[in-house]
Amino acid sequence: MSQTLVEMPMEPAGVPRGRAMVERATWASRAFATYDIDSVRRIAHAAAIAGENHAREFAELAVQETGYGVVEHKVLKNVACSVGIWNTYESHDYVTPTIVEGDKIVEVPRAAGVIFALTPSTNPVATVYCKIMLALLTRNAIIISPHPFAKGVCARAAYVMRDAAVAAGAPDGVIQVVEQPSIPLINALMTDERVDVIVATGGSPMVRSAYRSGNPAIGVGPGNVPVLVEKSADLPAAAQSIVASKSFDNSILCTSESVLIVESAIASGFTVALAKAGAFLLSPEQVDVVRDLIFPMGHFDTAWVGKSALEIAAACDIKVPKGTLILVAPIDLVVPEEPLAQEKLCPLLAMVTVSSAARGIEAARAVLRNSGRGHSAAIHSQDARVTMDYASALPVLRVVVNVGNSLGSAGIQTALAPTMTIGTGFFGKSSVGENLQPKHLINRTLIAYNSNKSILMPDFTDLNPWSAPQGSVPAYPIASNLEGAPFIPQPSAPIEFAGTDDLREEIRRLVIEELRQIIKG
């Protein structure tokens, strides 16, 4: 009797290593989830200091690797997302049980487990720092999957924090990074049932893919920030703020202003103030040339992401003063047919003039109909009534006043939570409407007693299920994301790729299209 041998299909390159990374993260998350608050704070603080110490080095490497942005501005973001996040949350406790006496409830914080974090090329190191810090503060293990265009600097940034965290007592494997991102590997990690939550920062297709993965996901939508300057505003201060914000890191933050809306009564004086602050007002003919360069065929050319105003002007053969920081393009109407009313990740700001604040609010709503719902908006005004009308009329979840939106909505120049991941809520079809912060990465087990006052709840004071680790935590036997490490098969079902073709194709389109545009540039 002859036997037919059935050849099992081989998994795509990198996928076995990815599965081992998840197994290692699962082990680390279980160990880390038992740590007490003092141990967690020691580990998070060590990682924050390590991140700050390398802030400039990684800012320089990020600009070299991606070609995006300004080194000095990236240094600021890297510091804000390492020690800045530590300073914000060092007194917060996402570990110790809380007793709610009047309700007879005890809240026990629980780590989510394994986080799979997708990070962008525009704010690579700051986003890696931010997500790692939030994971450490909440006792989660995290696997970073960087954008392919920034994979080198992101891996180095993650390893610096990993080494500091492990040296401070974190389980080996609590921070890992995908060194060679690929479509099959991202798909395998995103759909692995051992991943407890996906945190996706990137373009809309990537975020939609995360939501369709079958795992819980926190994703964010694109920005397209309108900024209204109404007649009560301090014009020189508003101009300075807007120019500084729009030029910050060459406008690669999704929070940077996109369309400037100015009341006609102050338009003349305000354009003078803009010029003094470093803006160059384009003529109608120059607007057409810049539009064709930045939006060929009506679509934003990613070759201009993070390029300076001087570079854009030179490419258009437009002579501008040496100190020009942003280009301002006057447009007639905010309509879908106007490409300049879309998000522009470069220091190019559209400007429209309106007859009143009420008309300005309608123009801002039109901007957000193009894109950016749920994200953010800015206003420069001394009038509380106008500010309230503006905030309540727009489908956004953060409105910053008399401050640049780039760092204002990111929580660096306001009291909003500091972050590189801006939740857009139900307006933007996101599961989170706030700036991403530690509370979004924990569960809380509630111990609830009978509300009848005659039935007493025992004393839970000083009862804590978590404790400091005894001795050093053993290193995971296989460092699965290090080059050359052997792969040990785990007793889990093989990954099924059937039914995930659409997901894979969406990821493929996102990465390949962006890289193609960048290479064309």
pLDDT at 520: 44
pLDDT at 496: 39
Between 501 and 167, whose confidence is greater?
167
Beta bridge partners of 218: 199
Spatial distance between the Cα atoms of 173 and 491, rounded to a whole number of angstroms: 19
pLDDT at 219: 85
Percent of the chain residues past pLDDT 90, beyond the cut: 79
Q: Name the band, by pLDDT with cuts 50, 70 and 90, for residue 514.
A: low
Q: What is the pLDDT of residues 232-276, one digit of tens each?
A: 999 999 999 999 999 999 999 999 999 999 999 999 999 999 999
User: Does 313 score more than 80 pLDDT?
Assistant: yes
Q: Angle at CA 425, nearest 5°, toward 424 and 429?
A: 85
Between 398 and 475, whose confidence is greater?
398
Spatial distance between the Cα atoms of 295 and 110, rounded to a whole number of angstroms: 47
Q: How is residue 97 written in tokens?
A: 């049980």
> 122: which residues sit within 8 A by CB, 6+ positions away?
66, 68, 69, 252, 253, 254, 305, 306, 345
Q: What is the pLDDT of residues 276-299, one digit of tens each?
A: 999 999 999 999 999 999 999 999
How confident is the model over 480-499, as a mean pLDDT?
40
User: Does 362 score more than 60 pLDDT?
Assistant: yes
* Amino acid sitting at position 488: I
Structural element, H or E, at residue 23: helix 15-32
Cβ atoms of 114 and 196 within 8 Å: the answer is: yes
Strand order, beta sheet including 442-448: 98-100, 105-111, 442-448
User: Does 494 score more than 80 pLDDT?
Assistant: no
The mean-pLDDT minimum among 289-293, 348-352, 488-492, 508-512 falls in 488-492
Reduced to 3 states, what is the DSSP secondary structure of residue 13? coil
Q: Name the band, by pLDDT with cuts 50, 70 and 90, for residue 182.
A: confident
Spatial distance between the Cα atoms of 114 and 23, rounded to a whole number of angstroms: 10
Q: Name the band, by pLDDT with cuts 50, 70 and 90, for residue 210.
A: confident
Q: Name the band, by pLDDT with cuts 50, 70 and 90, for residue 183.
A: confident
pLDDT at 445: 97
C-alpha gyration radius of the chain: 25
Cβ atoms of 141 and 115 within 8 Å: the answer is: yes
User: Does 508 score more than 80 pLDDT?
Assistant: no
User: Does 467 score more than 70 pLDDT?
Assistant: yes
Cβ atoms of 96 and 109 within 8 Å: the answer is: yes
Between 494 and 22, whose confidence is greater?
22
Domains of the chain (ranges, CATH numbers)? 15-220+436-464+485-520 (3.40.605.10), 225-408 (3.40.309.10)
Q: Which of 345, 302, 311 is nearest to 518 (CA)?
A: 302
Q: Name the band, by pLDDT with cuts 50, 70 and 90, for residue 489.
A: very low
Q: Which of 206, 217, 239 is nearest to 122 (CA)?
A: 206
> 320: which residues sit within 8 A by CB, 6+ positions away?
280, 309, 310, 313, 327
Residues 373, 378, 383, 389, Cα dihedral to 10° = 0
From the number of C-beta atoms within 10 Å of its C-beta (0-12, 13-18, 19+), residue 112 rates as buried
User: Does 223 score more than 70 pLDDT?
Assistant: yes
* Beta-strand relationship, 399-401 and 98-100: unpaired
Mean pLDDT of the chain: 90
User: Does 485 score more than 90 pLDDT?
Assistant: no
Q: To 10 degrees, what angle do helices 124-137 and 71-80 make?
A: 10
Q: Which active-site residues does the annotation give?
A: 254
